[in-house]
Structure 1
């Protein structure tokens, strides 16, 4: 199965700034197992932390999905010092709402190139093990190409063969 249910933790920090009152960021991606936290699809964000300078919301109903044609990008992610889950989100009214999640460097880059808000969150052990298994099964390194060295005398030798 190439799907892993997850919930996303969004955080709002209050700022002491003349132009901006708050800053939003995705700060966590947690497994959402059946009956567990964040498993309910389409449910309203649930506040899980309320402090004077920051709030956090748990937003469930997301699925991290892996595709064979992205195996190279998953490999790049898993071979980095800190593998990440990428969360694309948009500000909707008073709250920032996650839109999509991915483990692909390529997909995250495409989102950023199109002007979306994207945060990278370190993978939990469960998610990293799952993505790692997928990469081990489906990633095939590109075949190495034989590189011809620049030989300045190669043309002379080719001409010499044709003259006999």
Structure 2
């Protein structure tokens, strides 16, 4: 299986809310092409109600079988990376869970509803890397419509009494 990786740094924000049930919200905001030397959860900027953190590094993976999805992302007009944060009991309350260039993978993760998933702009260096990966490994696969099996009309038909039933014992 063809696989390439690139380590990326992730920037997230913790925004204060004026809400009786929730006092803050986490939001992924950007990706850095490379791994900065800062420690995970280093505060980068702080203002009243907003704190920006360097959340840490993540290994962005590309797979040869997913080139069609990456191509769709690149041709979307707004190439993005999707970042997933997952709630944890340990401080700061969330953990970096996923960074992906596959829009369909990120969409499938929203169905669970427990992760914070946000699309952020893909840096130009990563766009170029992704485009080169797609160019090198993409294989166009023709669409093949499957034929359904014909239904057996007798499958649900009423049958006569079976031998060995309670009615036979009488």
Q: TM-score, normalised by structure 1?
A: 0.76
Alpha-carbon offset, residue 131 of structure 1: 0.7
Q: How many residues align?
A: 139
Please tell me whether the aligned partners of residues 6 and 31 of structure 1 are also in contact (alpha carbons under 8 angstroms).
yes
**Bigger mean CA deviation after superposition, 21-30 or 114-123:** 114-123
**Bigger mean CA deviation after superposition, 43-52 or 120-129:** 43-52
Aligned pairs (5 A) from 1:3-152: 3-33=5-35, 37-38=36-37, 43-93=39-89, 94-115=92-113, 116-143=115-142
Q: Which structure 2 residue ranges, 5 or more long, are not aligned?
A: 145-170
Which protein is bigger by CA-based radius of gyration? Answer: 2
Alpha-carbon offset, residue 142 of structure 1: 3.0
Find the aligned partners of 2:120 and 2:69 in 1 and give their Cα distance: 16
> Superposition RMSD on alpha carbons, in Å?
1.9
Find the aligned partners of 2:31 and 2:40 in 1 and give their Cα distance: 17
Find the aligned partners of 2:100 and 2:143 in 1 and give their Cα distance: 29
Find the aligned partners of 2:131 and 2:4 in 1 and give their Cα distance: 12
Match of 1:156 in 2: none
Find the aligned partners of 1:86 and 1:144 in 2 and give their Cα distance: 27
1:144/1:58 CA distance change after superposition, 3 Å = same
Q: Which structure 1 residue ranges, 5 or more long, are not aligned?
A: 146-164
Find the aligned partners of 2:53 and 2:88 in 1 and give their Cα distance: 14
Find the aligned partners of 2:54 and 2:40 in 1 and give their Cα distance: 9
Aligned pairs (5 A) from 1:149-164: none
Q: TM-score, normalised by structure 2?
A: 0.74
